[in-house]
Structure formats: structure tokens, C-alpha cells
Structure 1
Amino acid sequence: MTAMATGDLMVLSFNVIVSQIIRHYFPHSLLSYTTACRLSAFLQGLSLQLSTWFTIAFTFDRFVAICCNKLKGRYCTEKIANMVISVVSALSIMVNVPLPFRYEPNHILNNIQWGCRTVTSYLTSPAWVAHRYLTNISNMFVPIPLLLLLNSLTAHHILVASRARRVLKSSRGGAGEMGRDPELKSRRTSIILLFTISGCFVLLSVPITVIHILVGVTHTVTYQGSTSLYLAIRSTFLLLCTSSCTNTCIYALTQRRFREEMMNLLKSPLSLLCKPHK
């Protein structure tokens, strides 16, 4: 969960604050340099991918913990969690490494490269076409069905287990206590949590996926003066960035251990700063 929150924080930092606020309202900032612009493009793509796949990894971890009792003891460990985080991070970096090479300087002044513009080969090169397909598949087309599948299987398992527990308690004459059963209450909360996460992720991620499909089908390469297409792309990108923080907010409101881990993460740098002072 800490890794998931870190990915979401990266999205808010690089895709919202740096890309949307600093770039538009501070046009003569550090991003005017081509090197900084290329680095920003890499960090934006990386943060979106990390946020998405850390969420998928955490959802799979919950699925194993709830539905796979035999695998739970071997998979749900700190060592496996660290390995999954490392693998996801490494693959995400590999996928986004080409992004800085998508841009070239707008102009060169006094041997300093300024601005960014897309290289001419981006629309015609087979390598760039393959990279676009890989990015779209890994960021949009795979995560949504995968998240829905994992959460549906988890919710189905919880419902079946709750029904069996209800029948068992009823056969033992505990029907009056079922409404106060903390286990059933916890399972109902888990189902609501799973469907809330799935619903938020799908509602906020599907619009930009639809835009990508339409643009790909119609072979649209420029806005061609269409303000409606520009507004649609910007609006769906805003929804996509919003989806990166909904899961963290949901878990922060509902999971006590998640709040404790975040507080420990925030306290760690403060404690390091306080030790030399003491």
C-alpha cells in the first residue's frame, strides 16, 4: 500500500503540478530547457504506469490473501512484496525509457537546447508505433479487465464464504446474532471496498481509453482546429490523474494499518532530521 501511495503521489507531482501547473503558469521555468522537458516526459509516463500497476499488484495480493489459503503463506510475505515492487518498477522504467527520445529541441540558442517538439519519425517509425501500442496496452487495455476480474473473484469468494457462515450459524441456532457478527460485517465492508475501487478505476480510466481508440481508428494525428477534441483529451487526462489518488484516499479512510504505515513513512525523515539536532 505504501508503494501504491508513492506511485499516486508521483502522478500528482509530475503529471499535475509539474506538467499542468508549472508548465502553463510558469513558461520560463526550468522546463524550458530541452533536457528538463525530456526528463519530465519520462517521469510523467513512469508515474502513471507505477500508480496503475502498484494498484494491480496490491489487488492481486488481496485476492491471494482472501481466496488462496494454500498460496497465502508463501506469497503474502515482505520478501515477495519487495520483489514484486522491484519487478514492477524495473519493467515500468524499461517501457518508459524511450519517452525522452520522442522529443527534440525547438531551437538552439548559444549552444543551449530550448523547448521540446515531437520528432518527425514518431508518426511513421515502426518502432515508435510498437512503443505506442505497448504503452496503451500496459496502461489502459490490460489493467481495467484485470482489476475487474480480480475484484470480482474476490467479492464472489467473500459472498460464498459469508453465505456458508450464515447457514452454519443458523443451523446452530445463532440467527439472532448474525446481524451483530463482526466477521460478516467485515466481509460486507470488504465487498463494498472492492466494488468502490473497481468502479472508480473504471469510470475514471475508461474515457481516455475510448479517446485513444477513436484517435487510433480515425488516424487523427493533429487537432486540426478541433477545440472539442482538445477539450475531450484534456478532460479525460484529468480524470486519469484523478483516478491515481482515489484508491489511496479510499484505503486511507477505511484501513487502519494503511494510515499507520503512512504516518511511519512521514515520521521517518523527521526522525532522521531530529537526531543530529539532539
Structure 2
Amino acid sequence: MAFQMYDLKKSYYMVLAIIGLLGNLLAIMIFSRGNCGVSKCTTRYLVAMAIADLLVIIFEVILKKVIYYYEAPVFFLDITPACSAHDALCDAVIDCSVWFTIAFSFDRFVAVCCPNLRTRFCKEKTAAVMLSTTCILLCLKSTPIYFIYEPVKIVDNVPWFCYVKPNFYSDSGWVSYECFAKALTPLLPFALILLINTLTVRHILASSRVRKELKTHSNGEKNSDPEMESRRKSVILLFAISGSFIFLWLMFIINFLRYTFKGTFYTESELIFQDFGFMFRNFSCCTNTFIYAAAQSKFREKIKNALKSLVS
């Protein structure tokens, strides 16, 4: 079974790297040009999410998984400073990918459920400030990871490989940092996504019921409602992205909680469950492009035009 999982992961991460690179590059290119049927504010969030997902594919999937399984000779990553910096960058880009999704979900929640705040908050400048501030804070949060490693050996004054310092598991400062990092990602984002979606659904159901009753009383019959149709498209995009996040991170969350309370994995089935948790988590960086194509007609049109131009 171990050999089968090894072959599966080897093929899976190569396919994931190709799909993730092409899909996120396509999303960045199309949304950066604008005119995709979404506001400039929403476009900022979608581009930022695609960039973060692309960086996860590069640093986590290609430079860690693909290189490992295909034994690619990238020796500079074996040097201790490069290895430490790479782990810190992996942590930072994964956090950015997750929290940009939270920022987008909150922006759509404000746009749908808070009309008084919408005109002040849902602006392109506000989105830029939110995204840049989030990115800076998460990079600062990941910086200590660089200092948790020590070299395995030193050859000609060059430190090689990364080994976690023994005091990382016993020092109160490092233990507190690890607890904070685990709470920040993935526990808090998962809870926030569920909360935002619950509040959004409750507001939509209540407002839809009121609007239908008012239109029925005023016109005596049910007519189409452009406001509700526009809101429906926006909510479909929100629920597709956040729902995909919940589904693909769920196994990782369950695995994370079980490891937190139980400790080291002992059985082969637990290790396989852990592997699939990481595989689904990394796959979440490839799904948004397909969601955009399914939910946005103008995005599909842009893809068709790009393909026609490429063929011609």
C-alpha cells in the first residue's frame, strides 16, 4: 500500500503543478485586464487569490513535492538558510491563500448584507489596503519559522539540510508560537468561513422573502427582480469559492485536530488519511479558476477568445 501511495502522490503532484500553474496564470491574466462581469473591488480580491494560489503551487507543490518525488537536483534548497527560508515562504503563501479567501468572503458579506457599510467598504482602495495589510502581517507571522532550524552537518563552512532545534518542542516561547500559528491557520479561517456563510444565507432568505411579498402585494403577481438576480450571481460566486474551501480543507482540519489531541500517527490508515488531507488542501489552489469559468459567463468568453487567439 505504501508503494501505491507513493506512485499516486508522485503522479498527482505533477498533474497538480501543471494545472495549478496554467489555471492561476490564466485567471491572473484575464482578471487583470478587467471587464469580466465583476466590480473592480471584487477583481482585486480575485487577482490576489490567484497570485497567492500560484505561489503555493510554486513553493509548496513544485519546490517541495515535485522535486522530492522526482528527485530533481535542486541542491541550493539543501543549504540550511535556503531550506529555512523556503519553509517560511511556504507557510506565508499558504496563509495568504487562506486569508485572502476570508477577506473576499467578508467583502461579499458586506456587499450583500450591509447596505449602509457597502458604499464605504466595498471599494478598490479598501480592497488594496486590506490585501496588502493582510499579506504584510502574515509574512511577519511566518518569519520566526526561519529560526527554528539548525544544520545537520557543515561541509567547507557551508551548513547543509534543516533539522528542527530540540528546544522547539520544549521552549515555552516556541510552544506558544506554534499554538498561535495553528489557531491562525487553519482553525480560525475555517470557523470564520462557516460563520460568514451562515449569516449571509440567513440574510438572503429573510430579504428574499420580504421582497417577494412586497412585489406580490404591489403588482398582484410575481415578476422578475433585477436586484435579486444580480445578488444571486454574486452569492453563487461567494458560495462556490467558500464551499470549495470548506470541502477541500475539511479532511486536513479533521486530521489536524486528531493529531493535536492524539499525537503521533501510528497506523497505516492514519498516515494515508494524513496524505490525502495534504493532497486535498493543495488541490484547493487549483479550483478557483474552474469556479470562475462555471459561474461567470464573461470569464468563459475571455477564455474562448484567448484560445481562439492562440490557435489563430
The bucket for the TM-score relative to the shorter chain is: 0.7 to 0.9
Task: Say which of 123, 133, 136 aligns to 1:90.
Answer: 136
Q: Conserved in 1, the CA contact under 8 Å of 2:101 and 2:242?
A: no
Q: Could you tell me which residue of structure 1 aligns to residue 207 of structure 2?
A: 161
Q: CA deviation at 1:47?
A: 0.8
Q: What letter is aligned with 1:211?
A: N
Partner residue, 2:20: none
1:261 and 1:67, CA in 2 relative to 1: closer, same or farther beyond 3 A? farther
> Structure 1 stretches of 5 or more lacking a match?
267-278
Whole-Å Cα distance in 2 between the matches of residues 218 and 197 of structure 1? 32
CA 1:126–1:109 in 2, change beyond 3 Å: closer, same or farther? same
Relative to 1, partners in 2 of residues 1:85 and 1:192: Cα closer, same or farther, differing over 3 Å? closer
Aligned partner of 1:20 among 43, 62, 65: 65
Report the counterpart of residue 23 of structure 2 in structure 1. Answer: none
The answer as to whether partners of 1:23 and 1:31 remain within 8 angstroms in 2 is no
Q: Which residue of 1 aligns with 2:271?
A: 230
Give 1:35's aligned residue.
Answer: 81
Which residue in the other structure is 1:204 paired with?
Answer: 248
CA distance in 2, matches of 1:43, 1:261: 32
Cα drift, residue 55 of structure 1? 0.6
Q: 1:52 to 1:257 in 2, by over 3 A?
A: farther
Equivalent residue letter for 1:254: A
Checking the alignment, whether the CA contact within 8 Å between 1:46 and 1:96 is kept in structure 2 is yes
Query: SS in structure 2 opposite 1:244?
Result: coil
Counterparts of 1:147 and 1:79 in 2: how far apart (Å)? 23
**Is the partner of 1:113 in helix, strand or coil?**
strand
Query: What's 1:250 paired with?
Result: 291
- Give the deviation of 1:94 after TM superposition: 1.5
Which residues in structure 2 correspond to 1:68-87 (within 5 Å)? 68-87=114-133
* 3-state SS of 2:159 partner: strand
Q: Name the aligned partner's letter for residue 202 of structure 1.
A: I
Say which of 171, 175, 180 aligns to 1:129: 175
* Structure 1 stretch displaced more, 5-14 or 184-193: 184-193
Output the CA distance in 2 between the equivalents of 1:84 and 1:261. 28
Aligned mates of 1:209, 1:53 — CA distance in 2: 16
- Structure 1 residues 187-208: Cα deviation after superposition (integer angstroms, max 9, x where no partner): 4444444433333222221222
Contact 1:4 1:248 in 2 (8 A): no
- Is the partner of 1:215 in helix, strand or coil? helix
- 5+ residue gaps in structure 2? 1-45, 307-312
State the Cα distance separating 1:165 from its structure 2 match: 2.5
Aligned-pair distance for 1:256?
6.0
- Counterparts in 2 of 1:170 and 1:252: CA distance versus 1, 3 Å: same
Superimposed CA distance per residue, residues 71-130 of structure 1 (whole angstroms, 9 cap, x where no aligned partner): 112111222112111210111011100112122212111111221122111221212211
Distance 1:251 1:28 in 2: 36
2:170 partner SS: coil
Whether the aligned pair in 2 keeps the contact of 1:158 and 1:191 (CA below 8 Å) is no
Distance 1:158 1:15, change over 3 A: same
Q: Which whole-Å CA distance do the structure 2 matches of 1:138 and 1:26 have between them?
A: 33
Distance in 1 (CA, whole Å) between partners of 2:235 and 2:220 is 23
Match of 2:280 among 204, 229, 239: 239
- CA RMSD for the aligned pairs? 2.6
Q: Normalization by structure 1: what TM-score?
A: 0.82
Q: Compute the displacement of 1:152 (Å).
A: 2.1
Give SS of 2:154's match: strand
Residue of structure 2 in register with 1:276 after alignment: none
Give TM-score scaled by structure 2 length: 0.74
The count of aligned residue pairs is 258
CA–CA separation in structure 1 for the residues paired with 2:165 and 2:226: 60
Aligned-partner residue type, residue 128 of structure 1: W
1:157-195 Cα distance to aligned partner (Å, 9 max, x none): 2222222222233223363644xx444444444444443
Q: Which residue of 2 aligns with 1:271?
A: none
Give % identity.
Answer: 38
